Amino acid sequence: MRVIVCEDYNELSAQAARLVASQLILNPSSVLGLATGSTPVGMYRHLVSMNRRGDIDFSDVTTFNLDEYYPISPGSPQSYRYFMNEQLFSKVNIDINNTFVPNGMTDDPEKECLDYEKNIEAHGGIDLQILGIGRNGHIGFNEPGANLNSATHLTELSESTVDANSRFFDSEDDVPRRAITMGIASILKSKKIILLASGASKSRVVSELLDEDINTSVPATLLKVHPDVVLICDKDAYSGTRLGVDIGGTNVKFAVVEGRKLIYKSSIRTEKSSADTLISSIADECNRLKKLYPIKTVGVGTPGIIRDGRVNAANLPFRSTPLASGLSKLVDMPVTVDNDANCAALGESEFGAGKKYQNIIMITLGTGIGGGIIFDGSIAHGKSSMGEIGHIIIEADGGRPCPCGQHGCWEQYASVSALIASAKEAVQSEPNSLLSKLAEEKGRLDGEAVFDAYEKGCKVAAKLLEKYTHYLAVGITSLINVFGPDAVILAGGITSRGNLLIPMLLPKIPSSDVAIEISTLENDAGSLGAALL
Ligand code: PGA
């Protein structure tokens, strides 16, 4: 697939029109496959001007449109027949009898589909097919995951397509739920294909198209088997190169991401003397990387609470700091800021263990419990503290106090700090236990020591981990009950002992259809996710 990245929508439209014009000049009796939707409108406008100037001639051209709603009358302003008449056919010197759009009023759709397919063949097949791409990866109305019926067929529209197309109707209820569409094989029989994608709303699907192998979840990837496809997109749709920054208490990590690939990473020490020095040290590294890579946008994950673009973070010098606007001025690029746990969840969902799931909850076990909730590929946001899962209350009566002001917060029981606090108490009451001895040898009592002692058969450590995984399971079960995710992904240093943790945890979680997995990205999840903000 050749890719042409244009500056903006107007350049994309002009470029696409030039390719169509070349086709018509080389073969004035070409058969064109045409598409509707908002994307090709600019291209049609250019073609109309070229025709009016006498640069191109439509008198011998035949056209076949990709699809039509069903049922719909051709006179309805939302019908694709009406759209084509308005945008092109009535404005150029084409013979309207040589323009074909599936009949949305047929009472025998099966016959209509067969006849449509035969008619294309009778005209010698399509020389040049124009396509748009849906946000869900559809081409024509060949929807994701559907039985990708090859020939022209009647199909059901997916929820996301109904939603996307409702902007052309008075209400979502008015959008027809079915359509007649050329199939993937009908499209692939075309001699040449031009695929158009414009705007940031298409950037996700464009990178999926470019990065993924052929798969039916993104029907447009099937175009990869065709030898002559040109993708023309504008800069907003071509996600290009992005920089992700993950601000931690000790280090700031940077990840340069192209489409969905990590191409470079680096890190600097966290400058804690003031907000300004921290921001300018981050800007210096961003500017260094900008010289090496064609970076267009920066995403930043930071601890703390972000409200109206201002960050408050206890362990960093951020006090109502306008991080996004401050950094943006220094790097001269758009900067987006989100909470670091949210970024890690996004990273994990796009690059790591969450890749195969639509909806995930990521739980980071550390000093506290951090979390991020990803639904349909996006971070679930509330006004402020959505995702503060460490502070769900799991012990309502007489719960342990939490610095947040509540009692009985989950992180007081299931964070690594909580495990260590319980281990310290256990060691005091059982000074002869294996755990006490191991801790003494190590010179400190950490989570690692608890797992090491457990592995060596220490009963005290076993009891601690039984209790710990009980609390962990209580919180996870509540989250599953509320959000119904496809998977829960656990992260944090402690998960390096996932081989011991998971078998103790799983029997305590009743929902067997939710996958419980360990993060595969660990330290890179935050910067990778930030890049995609
Ligand atoms: P759009 O639609 O051009 O309106 O974005 C494209 C499509 O759904 O195929």
What one-character-per-residue DSSP string does 431-466 give? TTSHHHHHHHHHTS--HHHHHHHHHTT-HHHHHHHH
Q: Please give the pLDDT value at position 304.
A: 83
Question: Per-residue pLDDT tens for 148-205?
Answer: 668 999 999 988 899 889 989 999 999 999 999 999 999 999 999 999 999 878 888 8
Residue 393 is classified by DSSP as: B
Which has more pLDDT, 106 or 366? 106
Stretch 489-508: mean pLDDT, rounded? 92
Ligand 1 neighbour 37 (Cβ under 6 A): yes
Grouping H, G, I as helix, E, B as strand and the rest as coil, residue 189 is coil
For ligand 1, the distance from its centroid to the CA atom of residue 434, given in whole angstroms, is 65
Ligand 1 neighbour 132 (Cβ under 6 A): yes
Calpha distance 85→442 (Å, rounded): 80
Question: In this structure, which residue's CA is closest to atom 8 in ligand 1?
Answer: 134
Stretch 424-438: mean pLDDT, rounded? 93
Question: Per-residue pLDDT tens for 284-302?
Answer: 999 999 999 878 789 999 9
The tokens of 469 are what? 């995984």
Stretch 432-448: mean pLDDT, rounded? 92
- Are 366 and 336 within 8 A, CB to CB? no
pLDDT at residue 2 is higher than 80? yes
Give the model's confidence band at 250: pLDDT under 50 very low, under 70 low, under 90 confident, else very high. confident
Question: Per-residue pLDDT tens for 200-225?
Answer: 788 888 988 987 889 999 999 999 99
Q: Please give the pLDDT value at position 147.
A: 63
pLDDT at residue 502 is higher than 80? yes
The tokens of 172 are what? 């979502």
Stretch 264-269: mean pLDDT, rounded? 95
Reported pTM: 0.60
Residues 6+ apart with CB under 8 A from 220: 131, 133, 137, 138, 139, 195, 205, 209
Percentage of the chain lying above the pLDDT 90 cut: 75
- Which ligand 1 atom minimizes the distance to the CA of 196? 3
Ligand 1 neighbour 219 (Cβ under 6 A): no
For ligand 1, the distance from its centroid to the CA atom of residue 131, given in whole angstroms, is 9
- Are 153 and 141 within 8 A, CB to CB? no
Ligand 1 neighbour 38 (Cβ under 6 A): yes
Q: Please give the pLDDT value at position 385.
A: 54
Give the model's confidence band at 388: pLDDT under 50 very low, under 70 low, under 90 confident, else very high. confident
Give the model's confidence band at 19: pLDDT under 50 very low, under 70 low, under 90 confident, else very high. very high
Question: Per-residue pLDDT tens for 120-131?
Answer: 999 999 999 999
